[in-house]
């Protein structure tokens, strides 16, 4: 284990974060959340920088320009990471920090920013990019008498139709 691996491992252990360390310089961290129950995040030690990469959500179904506008505006307020999309349009947070700057405090700030952004922005991204899917899911659950508990955050999007009131 390298010195940097030891710093990362001890920091993750101290914060009681769940992680796997599949190879030197590679950590797969599970960050807990509230709206997004967990965010999977890779920490990868490169030749010159620690790379942080976290999956936020899949490619939006709709309102792509609005989603991307939100992400670009949000980037201006983030510390150490920024939103990006991959080749299929899935949304990620990525960042790089020089190896000399990787300390327990800096790692804590970076991971904290990943959680704050991924968890804090999750419902907004769903509202913008998946509103029609949320409405369809609501209608389906109502028609089957299924629980609506995890759709409570989206009540403002859900207007009962005459068919769902029966």
In order of 70, 97, 104, 109, 135, the CA distances from 154 in angstroms are 18, 36, 37, 30, 9
**The pLDDT of residue 160:** 59
**Contact of 99 with 48, CB cutoff 8 Å:** yes
User: What is the separation, in whole angstroms, between the first and last Cα of the chain?
Assistant: 63
Tokens 């992400």 appear where? 71
- Three-state DSSP at 35 gives coil
The set of residues, in sequence order, having a beta carbon less than 8 Å from that of 36 and lying 6+ positions away, is 56, 57, 118, 119, 122
**The pLDDT of residue 48:** 95
Is CATH 3.30.1460.70 correct for 3-129? yes
Angle at 95 between CA 129 and CA 106, to 5 degrees: 125
| Rounded Cα–Cα distance for residues 71 and 73 (Å) | 5
Cα 67 versus chain centre, distance: 14
The set of residues, in sequence order, having a beta carbon less than 8 Å from that of 95 and lying 6+ positions away, is 51, 52, 80, 81, 82, 110
**Contact of 51 with 60, CB cutoff 8 Å:** no
CATH 3.30.1460.70 domain position(s) in the chain:
3-129
| Rounded Cα–Cα distance for residues 67 and 115 (Å) | 19
Q: What is the pLDDT along the chain (166 residues), one digit of tens a residue?
A: 679 999 999 999 999 999 999 999 999 999 999 999 999 999 999 999 999 999 999 999 999 999 999 999 999 999 999 999 999 999 999 999 999 999 999 999 999 999 999 999 999 999 999 999 989 988 898 889 888 888 888 888 876 555 544 4
**The pLDDT of residue 97:** 96
């Amino acid at each position: 284990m390298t010195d940097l691996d030891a710093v990362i491992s001890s920091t993750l252990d101290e914060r009681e974060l769940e992680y796997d360390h599949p190879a030197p310089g590679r950590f797969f961290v599970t960050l807990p959340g509230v709206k997004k129950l967990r965010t999977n995040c890779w920490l990868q030690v490169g030749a010159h920088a620690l790379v942080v990469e976290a999956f936020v959500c899949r490619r939006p179904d709709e309102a792509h320009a609005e989603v991307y506008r939100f992400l670009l505006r949000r980037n201006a307020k983030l510390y150490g990471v920024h939103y990006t999309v991959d080749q299929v349009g899935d949304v990620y947070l990525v960042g790089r920090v020089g190896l000399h700057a990787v300390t327990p405090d800096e790692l804590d700030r970076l991971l904290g920013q990943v959680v704050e952004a991924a968890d804090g922005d999750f419902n907004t991204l769903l509202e913008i990019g998946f509103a029609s899917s949320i409405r369809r899911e609501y209608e389906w659950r109502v028609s089957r008498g299924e629980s609506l508990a995890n759709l409570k955050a989206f009540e403002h999007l859900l207007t009962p139709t005459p068919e769902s009131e029966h």
